[in-house]
A = this chain, B = another copy of it.
Amino acid sequence: MKICRSIESLAEALAERGQRRVGFVPTMGFLHAGHLSLVKQCREDNDLAVVSIYVNPAQFGRNEDLDRYPRDPQRDIALLENERTDLLFLPDSGAMYPPGYATYVSVEGLDAVLCGASRPGHFRGVATVVLQLFNLVRPQRAYFGQKDAQQAIVIRRLVRDLHLPVQVIVMPIVRDSDGLALSSRNVYLAPAERLAALHLPQALQRADALVRSGVLDSRAIRTAMRNELERDPLLASEYIAIVGLPDLLETPVVDLNNTLIAAAVRVGRTRLIDNLLLGDLSC
């Protein structure tokens, strides 16, 4: 695996791509099996599998966890070697925003709801760094996890609006054996918090059971989810959203082919998200 630590060396390494199909997995590192499922698919679909690890400062709010976000590049490198990654882009923290950097991309509307409502500027940071990375790597395909469903929807819209020649592929959520969706931030959880956090996937399981039993009324589903989330005082619900795709507008009735049921909670200082997707996010 070739490791490029600067934009210049990445550009140089990719100049020799020729006609090879390039797949790309952008990450913030501290890789888990969710990330690796993206890398495996990327490896399978393409001639050249490119992964980036960059904890993107522009997508963190002032009071968020940029400084303490978990990092373990040596372990990540070993995991990526093991998945036969061809190229790892591992730039310095300031590399994507050099002095004088001024250009930011917003996917308006989509960036203001759900996680965007509680994390102003977050999706502007995501869209900006992903656009930069897409322009540097120029992949035919890019892989994102469904756990960050809103992120995938924002990127999908960005790709369409800006005519980027990249296929966005969204892979299913990977869960731990207890049901918690894998996230680099799970490492923050103390044991009691981890137990409390399980009410998040359980709330989504309740929503899933209701929908499967024919209950499509969003209010009834939201109430059942809220009841589940309120069962542990360590957990505070941030939002429960039942929204249509691709516009993320609240819907009173679930469309079985086109709905995202998503929730965010706080467990202690840790913010966790999870969702249930009825439909398809890829493009």
What is the interface of chain A, defined by CB distance below 8 A to chain B?
7, 100-110, 127, 131-132, 135-136, 157-158, 161-164, 246-247
Contact A135 B162 (CB under 8 A): yes
Q: Which of A100, A109, A158 has the most CB of B within 10 A?
A: A100
Contact A110 B102 (CB under 8 A): yes
Tallying the copies of this chain within the complex gives 2
A107 to B157, CA, bound (A): 20
Query: How far is the CB of A124 from the nearest CB of chain B, in Å?
Result: 9
Residue in chain B with minimal CB distance to A11: B163
Query: How far is the CB of A223 from the nearest CB of chain B, in Å?
Result: 31
6 A-B pairs whose Cβ atoms sit less than 8 Å apart in the complex: A102-B107, A102-B108, A103-B108, A103-B127, A103-B161, A131-B162
Known: A106-B104, A247-B100. A7 touches B163 (CB 8 A): yes
Q: Which residues of B contact A106 (CB under 8 A)?
A: 103-106
Contact B103 A158 (CB under 8 A): yes
Contact B163 A135 (CB under 8 A): yes
Q: Which residues of B contact A108 (CB under 8 A)?
A: 102-104
Contact B247 A162 (CB under 8 A): no
Residue in chain B with minimal CB distance to A103: B161
Q: Which residues of B contact A164 (CB under 8 A)?
A: 135
Query: How far is the CB of A71 from the nearest CB of chain B, in Å?
Result: 25
Question: Among B101, B107, B110, B247, which residue has its beta carbon within 8 angstroms of that of A161?
Answer: B101
Residue in chain B with minimal CB distance to A127: B103
A108 to B136, CA, bound (A): 21
In the A-B complex, the 9 residue pairs with the smallest Cβ-Cβ separation, listed nearest first, are A103-B161, A135-B163, A102-B107, A102-B108, A103-B107, A136-B163, A105-B105, A103-B158, A102-B109
